[in-house]
Amino acid sequence: MGLELYLDLLSQPCRAVYIFAKTNGIAFTLRPVELLKGEHLSDTFAQVNPLKKVPALKDGDFILTESVAILLYLTRKYKVPEHWYPRDLEARARVDEYLAWQHTTLRRNCLRSLWHKVSPPGVGKALLLRAGGERDSPGKGSCLLRI
């Protein structure tokens, strides 16, 4: 079987993989995983990714997870224009730098902002109380304390 991509297009990392593959004419079979229905938590999907997260790539017997790793794999396996991932060491390092930065900085803060916009009033507080923490108590519980 050819390349399979397990994606939910509600997820920004999944959309990045999908758009990259489509833009570069990379043939793949889309395997939808609906996060809102909890399909990523199923035993079937856990065989693809034991961490139960999307995106995931399956290429024959090879399975890869994490959007940045998948994008880099696709640039190396398929003939894509060099502007996506240059051959020049320093230019490539700049792409790597951006990929690391956006994943650890930009996405986290955008997600937090989105969470505040789409959550019904009081949800953040309810999650906080369920986690056993308070807004002004750093270091206790989980990342829910920062919501």
pLDDT computed for residue 135 by the predictor: 46
Q: Which stretches in the chain have pLDDT values below 50? A: 128, 134-147
Helix or strand run (H / E) with residue 18: helix 12-23
pLDDT computed for residue 136 by the predictor: 44
DSSP state of 34: -
Rg value, the chain, Cα: 18
